[in-house]
Chain A
């Protein structure tokens, strides 16, 4: 069986149809869209088409609300830095404890510059406390930034409602929607969301292209100043081929929206059900009733994620982990810690994320190898009683190291 790719929340394969539409913009229509000659003739038109395709996917009211950027991180940074520059008297930011580092590390840095950062906690299922959020909103808050869906667990946040509340309090609202766009339907013109980040490579477009949706009328300060590109809101020569590719990818995501939410979801559901039934001491993290259709994050207790990934990789299966070791830090993922997943499990979480390229037979293949992988590692674990095939009684106490 060929290798199985179940790490689509990390990045996706570029759809061959996307590659096809991009190639002419490298080899023939390579002119600068600002130029007046035949090498640039079709380029501006192609950009406009792509803008329309993105607009369609997210339900924006105007195509001028689409600003092309270099990636999701740039969109996130632009949104937050714009909000604080445009409103210098507001010194607070509301976000969550489970955001992507693109938001968290930026906020941490702003904290050093004197900003107050409110990080909304989550419960054990990864859900936000909306009452607590409501109390934080004030005329001191420059911007609220809450992800549409969490990259690790797939948990979806009520950003539409939260944006309404922010709007009522006179506060700008941004959402990092890189995981949600293309997987769940959205109609931004019916919401109060002011800014939204998209990353091309999460939806079968290439890496190095992103979008910032900027609602018409939202006060804005560019991050990159220079040329007149993107109506002066994001200077720098347009990444024409990638923009055209992203447009095509958005069109295809729109076409596959139902497939994503029915067939892809069915694969995900079958995988996680099969694992939970077959493997004792494993559980799904996040809000099970309110998740992206393609994502499952499963904790395998008493073993460590990187070791699981290495054995999966050997079996030709690609997934990812929230364990400390895969990131080079000593702590398991901030998302797992925020959900208070016990340490016995947090180090052994594995995320499987699907795309429309996966198949049911791939699911069966994973189900075939997964129980053995877990069993092999548990056999090595000092927290596992191999003779009785159960965890050692009271694992924290059974293992008494000389130091911790």
Chain B
């Protein structure tokens, strides 16, 4: 059985706001019975203040789907719709004291239903921007469709590339065989051949050129520092720290110290830092422990030669 938090159990066994709101003026429906998850969110929004006065849910789904729906209706009650739109799936998961990775899509469904309901209220069409495929990486909840799209869009060639771009495979590594199979399939569709022995990714120049606001190298390093600083409190709470050592091309070398150093979670922490850096700087960056600096610099040097 899943390791559900007490909060999840509480919201599952005693769901809040179950059922449809009478006189709802915002309705959002996501999922379908064939997917095994479906959620209808009904809201009563005050047209004057745009405050969500009542919220209700009807859910076909597993324990965490019902709990996510229940907690969502509690979170958004009393918010304006603009405030409600800022609620992320992570907020929903946090409010439940976390969800198992395989169940994170339940919180995503909650956020999507909310967006759909607001779109319905405003009379606009809401389009979902992702299609769900078979779950590949259970550590980070990444599905096959997402991986395929990233391979196509970013010309990825190795499992390491896929991990760098999607986080998939960055945790327990159990899905590496599946990722290889996807690479093989997509590369075959592109008329290329998957070669498991290629160890480093040929980083596409176009990726780098795509950066919208070019930074000077000083600005860039400052920005990277800024991101690391923002993450520092979180790391220190776990008894660790991170230090920027060097930036070479798109590789950011860091020292993980304290509890982070050698900790099993270091790889995951690094993946998290990398994700955040990429989001802020808008470019592809690879975060690597400084201990690997020499080795990687050599390989990169060889690659550019």
Contacts and interface: CB of A to CB of B under 8 A. Distances in A.
Interface of A: 302-307, 309-311, 313-314, 323-326, 328-332, 343-344, 347, 379-383, 386, 395-396, 399-404
A153 B277 CA distance: 51
Interface in B241-289: none
A309 B66 CA distance: 14
Contacts of B57: 380
B214 interface: no
Nearest to A344: B33
B60 A325 contact: no
Interface in B1-50: 1, 9, 12-13, 15, 18-19, 28-40
A325 B61 contact: yes
Nearest to B31: A401
Contact of A401 (B12, B19, B30, B63): B30
A386 B60 contact: no
B135 A330 contact: yes
A328 B32 CA distance: 17
29 contacts: A304-B36, A305-B62, A306-B62, A307-B62, A310-B9, A313-B1, A314-B13, A324-B36, A325-B36, A325-B63, A325-B64, A325-B65, A328-B102, A328-B138, A330-B36, A330-B132, A330-B134, A343-B33, A343-B34, A380-B60, A382-B29, A382-B39, A399-B38, A400-B29, A401-B30, A402-B30, A402-B116, A402-B125, A402-B127
Given A304-B65, A306-B63, A396 B127 contact: no
Interface of B: 1, 9, 12-13, 15, 18-19, 28-40, 57-66, 102-103, 116, 119, 125-128, 132, 134-135, 138, 143
Given A325-B65, A402-B119, 17 more contacts: A304-B36, A304-B60, A304-B62, A314-B13, A323-B36, A325-B37, A325-B64, A328-B138, A329-B135, A331-B134, A379-B19, A380-B18, A380-B58, A382-B40, A399-B32, A399-B40, A402-B126
Contacts of A382: 29, 38-40, 58-60
A212 B126 CA distance: 57
Nearest to A404: B32
Contacts of B61: 304, 307, 325
Given A328-B138, A402-B126, A395 B33 contact: yes
B62 A325 contact: yes
Main secondary structure of the interface of B (DSSP, over half): mixed
A270 to B, nearest CB: 27
B24 to A, nearest CB: 13
A323 B29 contact: no
B135 A403 contact: no
A400 B138 CA distance: 29
B160 to A, nearest CB: 22
Given A330-B132, A382-B29, A310 B63 contact: yes
A401 B134 contact: no
B181 to A, nearest CB: 8
Contacts of B9: 310
A383 B38 contact: yes
Contacts, number: 116
Nearest to B41: A382
Given A328-B102, A330-B135, A399 B29 contact: yes
A331 B39 CA distance: 17
Contacts of A328: 102, 135, 138
B29 A401 contact: yes
Which residue, of B33, B62, B143, has the highest number of chain A Cβ atoms within 10 A? B33
A307 B63 contact: yes
A389 to B, nearest CB: 14
A399 B18 CA distance: 17
A404 B58 CA distance: 17
B15 A380 contact: yes
A304 B69 CA distance: 15
Contacts of A381: 58-60
A329 B62 contact: no
Contacts of B60: 302-304, 347, 380-383
A305 B2 CA distance: 13
A257 B116 CA distance: 57
B33 A402 contact: no
A347 B32 CA distance: 12
Nearest to B117: A402
Given A344-B33, A382-B29, A382-B38, A403 B128 contact: yes
A110 B46 CA distance: 61
B99 to A, nearest CB: 12
Given A314-B13, A399-B38, A402-B126, A383 B18 contact: no
A188 to B, nearest CB: 36
Contacts of A302: 33, 60
A310 B12 contact: yes
A249 B211 CA distance: 68
B139 to A, nearest CB: 12
A383 B33 contact: yes
